[in-house]
Amino acid sequence: MPEMPEVETIRRTLQDKVVGKTIKKVEVLLSRLIKWPSAPEFQAIITGKKITQLERRGKYLLFYLEDSLVLVVHLRMTGRLYYAAQASVNIKSLHIKFIFTDEDALLYADTRTLGTLYAMKESELWRISGLAGLGPEPLSAEFTVEYLRKITATRQGKIKALLLNQKFIGGLGNIYVDESLALAGIHPERSAGSLSEQEVAKLHQAINEVIAQGIQDGGTSFRDYVDGEGKSGTHQQRLRVYGRKNQPCFSCGAKIEWKEVGGRGTHYCPHCQH
């Protein structure tokens, strides 16, 4: 479900609440979500540890703990993290509870149960290949026009598929890719290598703009997404193409089209995007 702006919003809404808290107890109701180590070991190594820092890389959340330990959470499609004062709340699809010494809790819920959690020493983070191999993020110093030109130039696959690949750019997902391509006026099925220098520059600018606006809006609440306090984002009000199949393009009035590109539902304006 969440992409970089949503995960960043969750990080910001949780940070002040969880940093400094000590995990008193971990209840794992669905152990297959724990990918490393085993669920009992996972519980054992983080129990009694204090959270010192909360960071994000791409779509991963990293809870840094005492003793150089890290709790890593990836929400995938429908994962949610809620901070609950005085634990006993009733929420659907609740799978993991992190209960603090003051009885507040951090709750992990996930309808499709595709999310993944890990706990390990900081020095062991290489075990999470998706995290270790993450490309530069939008808005970062490493994500330059030059970099985007370099990764697109030699590849013949569709530009949309490349933008979704976390090895190349960390943090983009289906909504923000469709929105970036719409803003840049580039058709999602264009071969990456066919983009002109001008188009690459426009795309680079569009990605940064869309992601920055997404963060400023507190994310896009299209169906499931809420932040760490259970609140919706507002970026859905700004979407140009995503979720607007058959509705008129705001620029030209043509009907927004939908088709599958690279195995993902894709929205675009057939008139404005070439």
Partner DNA sequence: CTTCACGCCTGTCAGC
Partner DNA sequence: TGCTGACAGGCGTGAA
Binding positions for DNA, rule: CB under 7 A:
1-3, 6, 32, 58-59, 74, 76-77, 93, 111-114, 129-130, 155-158, 161-162, 164, 166, 173-175, 192, 219-225, 258, 260, 262-265
Backbone angles phi and psi of 262, in degrees to 5: 60, 35
Q: Is 212 helix (H, G, I), strand (E, B) or coil?
A: helix
**How far out from the chain centre does Cα 44 lie?**
28
Residue 59 bears catalytic tag: yes
How, if at all, do strands 51-57 and 60-65 pair? Answer: antiparallel
Residue 21 bears catalytic tag: no
Smallest distance, DNA to C-beta of residue 155, A: 4
Q: Which is nearer to DNA, 166 or 273 (CB)?
A: 166
Task: Name the region of 58 (left: φ>0; alpha: ψ -120 to 50; beta: rest).
Answer: left
Backbone angles phi and psi of 185, in degrees to 5: 70, 30
- Residue 95's nearest CA partner among 121, 77, 114, 69 is 114
Alpha-carbon span 219 to 216, nearest angstrom: 8
Of 11, 21, 56, 59, which residue is the catalytic one?
Answer: 59
Residue 2 bears catalytic tag: yes
Smallest distance, DNA to C-beta of residue 209, A: 18
Q: Which is nearer to DNA, 42 or 242 (CB)?
A: 242
Smallest distance, DNA to C-beta of residue 199, A: 17
Q: Which is nearer to DNA, 111 or 205 (CB)?
A: 111
Q: Which is nearer to DNA, 9 or 43 (CB)?
A: 9
Q: Which is nearer to DNA, 25 or 127 (CB)?
A: 127
Q: How far is CA 223 from CA 59, 95, 186, in A?
A: 18, 20, 26
Q: How far is CA 77 from CA 7, 64, 150, 233, in A?
A: 12, 23, 30, 16
Smallest distance, DNA to C-beta of residue 2, A: 5
Over 217-242, what HEC string results? CCCCCCCCCCCCCCCCCCHHHHCCCC
Query: CB-hemisphere CA count at 13 Å for 239?
Result: 23
Of 3, 6, 137, 199, which residue is the catalytic one?
Answer: 3
Of 124, 189, 264, 270, which residue is the catalytic one?
Answer: 264
Q: Which is nearer to DNA, 99 or 215 (CB)?
A: 215
Smallest distance, DNA to C-beta of residue 123, A: 19
Smallest distance, DNA to C-beta of residue 134, A: 9
Alpha-carbon span 230 to 218, nearest angstrom: 12
Residues designated catalytic: 2-3, 59, 264
